[in-house]
Structure 1
Amino acid sequence: MFSAFPRALRATTSLWPLLPAALLLAPVAQAHAEVQPATQAQPASDTTQEIIVTGTREKGRTKYESLTPVDVISAKAVQDGASAELADNLAQVIPSLQVLKLPSSDGLQFIRPARLRGLSSDQTLVLVNGKRFHRSAFLGQRGAQGADLNKISSLSVGRVEVLRDGASAQYGSDAIAGVINIQLDERPGVSAYVQGSQYYEGDGETVRAGLKAGTRFDKGFLTASVEWADAKMTSRSHQRADALAYQAANPGVVLPNPVQHWGAPDTKSYNLALNGAYDLGFAEAYGFATAAKGEGINDINWRIPVGGAFTITPAFPGWDLKSVYPLGFTPREQAKYQDYQAVGGVRHTGEVFTWDLSASLGENETKFYLYNSINASLGPSSPFNFFLGTQTQREVTLNADGVYRLDLGLSEPVNIAFGAEHRKETYKVGAGDKASYAVGPGAKNGLAVGANGFPGFSDLQAGEWSQDSNAAYVDVEARLTPEWTLGGAVRYEDFDSFGSTTNGKVSTRYEFTPYFAARGSWSTGFRAPTPGQINSLAVSQGLDTVTLQLFTTGRLSPLNPIAVSKGAKPLQPEESTNKSAGFVWRTDFGLSGSFDMYQIEVSNRLGQSSQITLTQAEKDALVAQGYPSAASFTSVYWYTNDYNTRTKGIDVVTTYVRSLWDGRLNLTLAYNNNKTLITGGTLNANPTTKRVFEEGLPQNNATFTGTFRKGAFEYQVRARHYGGWTDSTGNSTGDIFQRFGAMNFVDASVQWDMTDKLSLKVSAENLFDAYPEKAIFQASRGIEYSRNAPYDTYGGQYYVRLNARF
């Protein structure tokens, strides 16, 4: 594994232009540092005393006193990673959080929601400053429509609180697996950074830069941050089997090698955040906003210049697509997005009564494009580049929250929180270019309609659908004795799309000594189906890894008459029961930690129906409804409340902080064991899908981080462990499985505070350039490593970061 170092050393030459400022400042900084070190060694501190705001509405509660497990992730932990994306950096320090790369996956390579405890991405609620963050417009794996953490600037983060427990009774829909609460930074001062990174292989070059400014004044504060990143593609590919066979059969042809790149896409992103408050005297006005804009582009499956779109038909006499694409063609899919959320409110914090009135508007819009392709049914009149259409998710939320501290003569006043919420969720599909979905004259001769690779949204497929909900809750927390705390919550929520739901939660904590306490909770939860899941239709094209033949799959709305005739039913909410029990400890010598066991049972989970082959009459009926791509559907499916699951797991977090050798040592071990089983529904009767679902993510994950700071230097080593997992081809026919063994990665970094205002960090992620086993069954497609891997499969990368404070 040490052979990676020569390659890494050679690769660093391309980043030297990023470092002149650091190199020029180094001698001066060293002299300054000898006189005035930037950072003095700090004594060991009790991290269990951090005040939390997630999972409790009791002010002043620490994470040690919390009735449910809450992790607190520092701003430094999420800002100093190699990735420009917040979710990636969080996943490296939270073992129960998974964020897949998913290259060339019909949009999932650009929009990558995070999954907590192995559940769906839309079963984890995301908050910003305690307020619900809107969803992405993109429907991902199994129809999951979760929030996209990567639309929030890493630089804007003050800290992240992760509640690892069901919380629908407290926060509403989606909080089945837990809650991720992003707390925006409020600190004064001006800071900036520039960072360059690259993989050992010499690709994936990424440049990031950011600027943050904050000020405090007599009646409030204001902070603002802006961040930019430009990441180049990676490619871990080899020549496809059909490309090799075609070139052997046609010696005069020289195909690109490879004909298709599998890896991370080219991306550019811009992120902005604002956070502020102003004292009005009788109350405090506050507001915050996030905004993001960016784009990404990547290859999708190569089209061999034989058959398919290259079929010569009487519809276009004398015309051969090889005159345009003599070497076949590799479509390139692009997504351009813009995202924003703005929250404003007025609140008053009193010793007895606290209230908060707020309004929120959030929107995510993604536009899809396809280049280097063709609508084969249009023949020579087809364009080669297409605008495919737009998906938009908009959410408006109104909240009224209050807390009353009732003195009943107990150890402390009873904390009674209550409130109401109104939310309007709107999903919109905008049509693409007509040529992206048109049915041309070649359709009657079997030529595929629509843009080859990703047919566009038709004008009749476009539309706007909304869902309104109203909710009310009560959340009570009481310290009955100095040692025993009891909490309870109930929430009623009514949706105009399916009806109402009521959920409850009971939690408790008993402190045996000031250093040891036990805790537990029981709760019910739910996730409401979204307007996009209920109403939208989609078309996707895939490649059978055995036959290397393209197939086209249509997703119908479960309300579509054709789907209803095949057994589709209106969607209902997913429902859950969560149980957890554990204990927490701390000591006077810097050792603290927690151990929690949990079980999450989810019924009516959203899934895909079985694949249905349509008759020609049914295809014609769909075309008549305004879905021209239906003419080439190989099969169709729809979303349905399909199956039940049981997830069991263990979370262990241990931290040790102490002074050592005139410095400060911080050791953290986090371990997650998580196993999900299908307990009912159609997936239970399908051995293939059942196995992929139950074994598709590692059961054991762990992260160990050691940090030592002394004087002007900080050294960090992180080890990441991912257990074994199973993958499948996903072929339209046939089943092939591959079991991948455990993987271990080591990250290391050194930070030098050159002055009290400048620091330089040099780091390597996957220091020893570890790669997983190659994906044997996907090799025919040119893929080296499975695109479903739960970790980065691009090898080692290093980065250099210059931080400045003004």
Structure 2
Amino acid sequence: MSNNKFGISSLSLAISIALAGSFASTQALAAEDQDILVKVENVERMAVVGSRAAPRSVGESPVPIDIIDGDELTKNGATDMNDLLSKVVPSYNVGVQPISDASTLVRPANMRGLAPDHTLVLVNGKRRHRASVIAFQGAGISDGAQGPDISVIPAIALKQIEVLRDGAAAQYGSDAIAGVINFQLKDASEGGSIEARYGQYYEGDGSTPMIAGNIGLPLTDDGFVNLSFEYKEADATSRSVQRDDAAALIAAGNTAVANPAQIWGAPETKEDFKFFFNMGLELNDDQHAYMFGNWARRDVEGGFYFRNPETREGVYADGDGNPLIGDLTDDMSGNCTTHEAAMTQDQCWSFQEMFPGGFTPNFGGVVEDSSLVAGLRGELKNGIGYDGTFSYGENTADFYIKNTVNASLGPDTPTSFSPGKYVQQETGASLDFTYFEVDTWSFAWGAEYRRETFEIYNGDVPSFEIGPLAAQGFGIGSNGFPGFKPEDAGSWTRSNIGIYADVEKELTDDFLMTAAIRYENYDDFGGTTNGKLSAIWNATEYFSLRGAASTGFRAPTVGQNNVRNVTTAFGPNGLQDQATLPPTNPISVQKGGKPLEPETSVNLSVGGVLTAGDFFLTVDYYHITLEDRISQTSPIELTDQDKQDLVEQGILDAGSFSAVRYFTNDFDTTTQGVDLVANYTPEWFEGSSFSLAYNWTETKVDSYNPENIGESKVKSLEEALPHHKGTLTWNQDLTDEFRSLVRMNYYGAYWEDHLDSNGDLPIDVSSAVTFDVELGYDVNENWSLALGAQNILDTYPDDNPWAGEAGAAYPVTSPYGFNGGFYYGRVNYTF
């Protein structure tokens, strides 16, 4: 398919049609349904985000807001919240992450072409804690990001989702550069539903059974308890071909090599349990107590790179490519120089004895997530509203790796290891005040305190142990993901306080202006002040113009400042061990590392809303400049002299590193784009609704440090996501019982740095169109059935021209995946 570029004249036309962006409807943008039925009453759905004054309808908001009805999220073949949002918000992209270290456990997602931690996540309007996992391999854009794990949120627990697509750091604090996503939990005190779903790919793999439930219960006569759960499993998939080197080994007579030697596909989800609760109680006419929280546990296991039994350095070969034969004697008297000696002499050892066909590690982890938020809100006698909140959140990633070795232990090595874990903890307290409609003025002010802790727990001893063969050139630690050593373990904490003030003024009946200012102070890098102005003008009864300008920031996370990790990645000379270290680590400092500073941004947007009977149209243009952007450096090679100098400083494991990466503020970017949404429910076509959602996003790297940021990383930042993405959906009520959905998805062309190869294996991937369909049947008022298919025509990305390098049949960063068509069935019972 041709790469359909969006020219300047087309962009100008799109901007001039009308400006703003909001899926304004009760059923706007359902995750697979995207059922945007925009009738007049739907336009009046209220949004909490975007304003600290009284909630406004999305059509009246001076900034673009999408409202996604929670019930529509369950009408879908997908089960992960990231996948659901990628269908809902055109600028939201998430990939499969088949071989990406910890990113396989918590997949990074991008909104408006920015990193995952540039989007602030709220639940019931309260800040959500971030995940403990840092995306070490994030296809350039997400490299080093540490965002929240929204996949722990079950769709059945949600009343609605609000997506604020505008910079909001002046209102909500750090991270709100690309926008804000607010998940509103159900608050019903009665009724509920049970849902069972099953699906699998056309290829016969990736089967995904799921069951979910929700129930509302009364809490005395004046309150509610709403409980939700979800449990699912997912089998792994494989879209692999045999690697060239593995095929050559088989051709040469090595019958122990697996076919394929390396798997590319969706990882296996062994179990995924999610639980949310939401509680509220009216204490009296002026006070309301609330509490909500969650607990989730997910066990995910994926693959790693194949270890060639003839060339894998540190296991089968030395640095010069010669066979690595271990001498097991105490005095090196074994004369161990050949594989024959290893096979025939007890004092000699080769890993070809244990894994004659090489080996491919399996990497996984158990992610646990929990939170508790409690608060009291009400109104004082003078009309001032208040809301006091306490929150706690924790996310843990406990890693494991199988089918691998600690080569330095020789024949005594285990083949399964527990390399350690990361823990992220956040505690917060806030006190907010509001005062509405004082001579058409509205005021809000408040203060917030947050304490963030990042912890590293060391692994089991064999995962980092320096064995007796280390001095002979055998690698140290569990190969592929060495365990965290006791000296790597630790706990690091940072606190910050913030104060803010918001004001809104209706200058006329048709013109609203808002302003916000926020000051935050961090105990590690100091203070920052940010502001925002926005306005909306109702030019006519049917058309409104709006715009906003703001400054923003994102504080470097405690994890980014202190994380330690060694991963095996594809380098210029094949697989190599790359160490990600704190920027203040001696190795990093030797290569230019220095303490991190916050990112700063300027957001500009202009938009408008057109409502004409059954037709609703919004378009938004946005422009985001981001300075001192935080990411990992490109891999920086360590010379033999570098390693020797570091060993002499007491950093004994430096000799096993091929390259080092650290976090840095070394580049600036400009991101601009357009969001367009059109909805039409014609009276002449009873029961039908049509919706069009489109996004154009483009990022330009304005400046960077070439010593730390390579050209391939720059191109990944600019080209790794499609510039264009859109959906066209037709929903039809066929009868009172039957309904159907047909949706076309468009994904623009993009560029992939295959295997993070520093541009050595580039792929220009063509644009693509996929189709989704669903047919639903309401048996009665309680039972409903649905059958559907995502990517019903079984569309795949272009063939991978470098498939023989590591066995991936298709480009692995495809925004619509590389597993092909997926069919599913669903049964719902509502009571």
TM-score (norm. length: structure 2)? 0.88
Q: In structure 2, do the counterparts of structure 1 residues 43 and 148 end up closer, same or farther at CA, with 3 Å as the change threshold?
A: closer
Cα separation, 1, equivalents of 2:706 and 2:741: 44
- The amino acid of 1:358's aligned partner reads T
Counterpart Cα distance in 2 of 1:786 and 1:117: 22
2:695: which partner in 1?
A: 672
Tell me which of 338, 354, 360 is aligned to 2:368: 338
Counterpart of 2:102 in 1: which secondary structure?
coil
Instruction: Give the counterpart of 1:472 among 483, 486, 499.
Output: 499
| 1:171-570 paired onto structure 2 within 5 Å | 171-187=172-188, 188-216=190-218, 218-250=221-253, 253-267=255-269, 268-281=271-284, 282-308=286-312, 309-311=315-317, 312-316=324-328, 317-349=347-379, 352-408=383-439, 413-544=440-571, 549-570=574-595
Match for 2:193: what amino acid? Answer: S
Unmatched segments (≥5 aa) in structure 2: 2-36, 318-323, 329-346
Aligned pair in 2 of structure 1 residues 561, 324: CA closer, same or farther (>3 Å)? Answer: closer
Shifted more, 591-600 versus 619-628: the winner is 619-628
Structure 1 residue aligned with 2:661, among 617, 633, 637?
Answer: 637
In 2, distance between residues paired with 1:445 and 1:686? Answer: 34
Label 1:660 to 1:324 Cα distance change in 2 as closer, same or farther (>3 A): farther
Partner SS state of residue 690, structure 1:
helix
SS in 2 for 1:323: coil
The residue that corresponds to 1:146 in the other structure is 147
Aligned residue for 1:654, secondary structure, equals strand
Given that 2:434 and 2:444 are in contact with CA atoms closer than 8 Å, whether structure 1 keeps it comes out as yes
Alpha-carbon distance in structure 2 between the residues aligned to 1:733 and 1:677: 19
CA distance 1:788–1:623, shift in 2 (3 Å):
farther
Q: Distance in 2 between matches of 1:427 and 1:112?
A: 19
Q: Which amino acid aligns with 1:753?
A: D
Equivalent AA in structure 1 for residue 432 of structure 2: D
> Is the 1:460–1:625 Cα contact (8 Å) retained in structure 2?
no
Question: Could you tell me which residue of structure 2 aligns to residue 755 of structure 1?
Answer: 780
Residue 773 (structure 2) pairs with residue 737 (structure 1):
no
Amino acid at match of 1:198: Q
Aligned residues: 757
Are 1:716 and 2:717 an aligned pair?
A: no
Structure 1 segments unaligned to the other structure (5+ residues): 2-41
Amino acid at match of 1:144: A
Q: 1: CA distance between counterparts of 2:176 and 2:758?
A: 36
SS at match of 1:343: strand
SS at match of 2:117: helix
Find the aligned partners of 1:301 and 1:744 in 2 and give their Cα distance.
Answer: 31
> C-alpha displacement at 1:632, in angstroms?
1.2
Q: Is the 8 A contact 1:458 1:627 kept in 2?
A: no
Going from structure 1 to structure 2, the CA distance change for 1:564 and 1:463 (only over 3 Å counts) comes to same
Q: Which range is displaced more, 444-453 or 359-368?
A: 444-453
Equivalent in the alignment of 1:774: 799
Matches of 1:238 and 1:658 in 2, distance apart? Answer: 49
Q: Pick from 601, 613, 622 the counterpart of residue 598 of structure 1.
A: 622
1:691-742 CA distance string (max 9 Å, x none): 2221111001101122112301111111111100011235667623221110
- Is contact 1:113–1:149 with CA below 8 Å preserved after alignment? no
Aligned residue type for 1:202: G
Inter-partner Cα distance in structure 2 for 1:536 and 1:742: 37
Q: Give the SS at the match of 2:121.
A: strand
Q: Does 1:574 align with 2:577?
A: no
Tell me the equivalent position of 2:17: none
In structure 1, C-alpha distance between the alignment counterparts of 2:54 and 2:362, rounded to whole Å:
51
Shift of residue 195 of structure 1?
Answer: 0.5
Instruction: Quote the offset at 1:687 in angstroms.
Output: 3.3
Q: Equivalent of 2:99, from 81, 95, 104?
A: 104
Q: Deviations over 1:190-248 (max 9, x none)?
A: 21011000000000000000111013453122110111001000100011111100011
Q: Give the alignment partner of residue 784 of structure 1, picking from 798, 804, 809.
A: 809
Cα deviation, 1:735-786, whole Å, max 9, x if unaligned, reads 2322111011100001100111000010100010001101212432110112
CA positional deviation for 1:256: 2.4
- The separation in 1 between residues aligned to 2:151 and 2:455, in whole angstroms, is 21
Query: Do the aligned partners of residues 646 and 711 (structure 1) sit closer, same or farther apart at CA in structure 2, a change above 3 Å counting?
Result: same
> In structure 2, what is the Cα distance between the partners aligned to 1:323 and 1:563?
38
What is the letter of the counterpart of residue 760 of structure 2? D
User: Is 1:608 the equivalent of 2:632?
Assistant: yes
Q: State, as a whole percentage, how many aligned pairs show the same letter.
A: 38
1:24 is aligned to none
**Aligned amino acid, residue 660 of structure 2:** V
| Secondary structure class of the residue paired with 1:604 | strand
Give 3-state SS (helix, strand or coil) of 2:820's partner: coil
| Residue 67, structure 1, aligned to residue 95, structure 2 | no
Q: 2:731 — aligned with what? A: 707
Structure 1 position 276, deviation (Å): 1.3
Counterpart residue type for residue 444 of structure 1: A
CA shift digits 1:494-533 (9 cap, x unpaired): 0001000000000001001222100000000000001111
Cα distance in 1, alignment partners of residues 772 and 759 from structure 2:
39
Alpha-carbon offset, residue 660 of structure 1: 5.5
Amino acid at match of 2:61: S
Q: CA deviation at 1:658?
A: 4.1
Name which of 720, 725, 743 aligns with 1:696. 720
What CA distance in whole angstroms lies between the structure 2 residues aligned with 1:712 and 1:286? 38
3-state DSSP of counterpart to 2:228: strand
Query: 1:406-426: CA deviations, max 9, x gaps?
Result: 522xxxx31101110000000
Alpha-carbon distance in structure 2 between the residues aligned to 1:417 and 1:784: 55
SS at match of 1:306: coil
Q: Does 1:682 align with 2:705?
A: yes
| Secondary structure class of the residue paired with 2:637 | coil
**Residues 152 and 291 in structure 1, CA contact (< 8 A), matched pair in contact too:** no
8 Å Cα contact 2:238-2:265 kept in structure 1: yes
Question: Aligned AA for 1:197?
Answer: G
Moved more, 325-334 or 175-184: 325-334
CA change 1:659–1:210 in 2 (3 A) is farther
> In structure 2, how many angstroms separate the alpha carbons of the residues matched to 1:729 and 1:393?
31
Shift of 1:601: 0.1
Structure 1, 109-118 or 301-310: larger mean CA deviation: 301-310
In 2, distance between residues paired with 1:210 and 1:660?
Answer: 38
Change in 2 beyond 3 A, CA 1:43/1:106: closer
Q: Which secondary structure state, in structure 1, belongs to the residue aligned with residue 392 of structure 2?
A: strand
The CA deviation string for residues 631-689 of structure 1, in whole angstroms up to 9 with x for no partner, is 2111112111010000010111111124566x522221111000000001225984332
* CA distance in 2: counterparts of 1:69 and 1:491, whole angstroms: 21
Query: Aligned to 1:107, what secondary structure does the other structure show?
Result: helix
Structure-1 residue corresponding to 2:320: none
Distance 1:322 1:521, change over 3 A: same
- SS class of match (1:218): helix
Aligned partner of 2:12 in structure 1 is none
| Distance in 1 of aligned mates of 2:588 and 2:684 | 67
Q: Partner of 1:23 in structure 2?
A: none
